[in-house]
Amino acid sequence: MRLMVGLQVQHRMRPEISRLIRWRYPTLQDHASTHGRPHIQGMVADVMFLDHTQPEVPHEDAVAMGNQSKINEYEVEMAVRLADHLLHQEVMSGKSITILTPYLGQLAHIRRALTERNMCACLNERDAGDLSKLDLLDSRGDDSGKAAARNQSLVVHAATVDNYQGIVLRSHVTEPFFLTLMRP
């Protein structure tokens, strides 16, 4: 007999987000600390979805290395512009944002676009290692945290979904964060 235990009370997601997964976790409760969080300044809603018709393409360098990674330049541009917009809101001073993606190729393009806009593109060790193995980790970014120390107001943590849990910031959850899923 196998005993399964599931999460009973969640402490990270806004209730607006946790409601989206209630179909799968019907008994999940929101901890009191998740209620009453301030709205995200500069946005019309705290949770938004963007539907578009821009196609994704295989990441040529990653595919050549045997990885089936994908990229969608439209989503890269939208996520980076949104991060830039939010980081220039007065209330975001000294805070950071996270952009998540399922694909390493997309992560490489997000990182490149962030550094081109003079934002610190901070990667966790696992993603940096995975990008390096595929030769997708160019020298334009500064993932060591030195850039973050130089410019605290423009820090964006970028990660793959697989490597995000508990790695990007162990001390707290960044808010807001974006998830770029691309089309199936």
The answer on 77 and 58 residing in a single domain is yes
* pLDDT for residue 77: 94
The answer on 42 and 26 residing in a single domain is no
The answer on 73 and 17 residing in a single domain is no
From start to end of the chain, where are the E strands? 9-10, 29-30, 57-58, 70-71, 96-101, 120-122, 155-160, 177-179
Report pTM.
0.77
CB 134 within 8 A of CB 65: yes
Q: Give me the helix-helix angle, 104-116 and 125-133, nearest 10°.
A: 110
CB 71 within 8 A of CB 59: yes
* Domain of 72, in residue numbers: 38-179
The answer on 73 and 22 residing in a single domain is no
CB 70 within 8 A of CB 56: yes
Number of domains the chain is built from: 2
> Each residue's pLDDT tens digit in the chain (184 positions)?
666 667 789 888 889 989 998 998 899 999 999 899 888 888 888 888 888 888 887 766 545 555 667 788 899 999 999 988 888 887 676 677 889 998 888 999 999 999 998 888 889 889 999 999 888 776 555 544 444 444 555 788 899 988 876 544 444 455 666 777 765 4
- Residue 13 belongs to a domain: yes
The answer on 72 and 23 residing in a single domain is no
The answer on 102 and 22 residing in a single domain is no
The answer on 68 and 32 residing in a single domain is no
- Residue 143 belongs to a domain: yes
Phi, psi of 152 (to 5 degrees): -60, -25
Distance between CA atoms of 68 and 125, rounded to whole angstroms? Answer: 21
- Residue 184 belongs to a domain: no
The answer on 47 and 134 residing in a single domain is yes
The answer on 162 and 110 residing in a single domain is yes
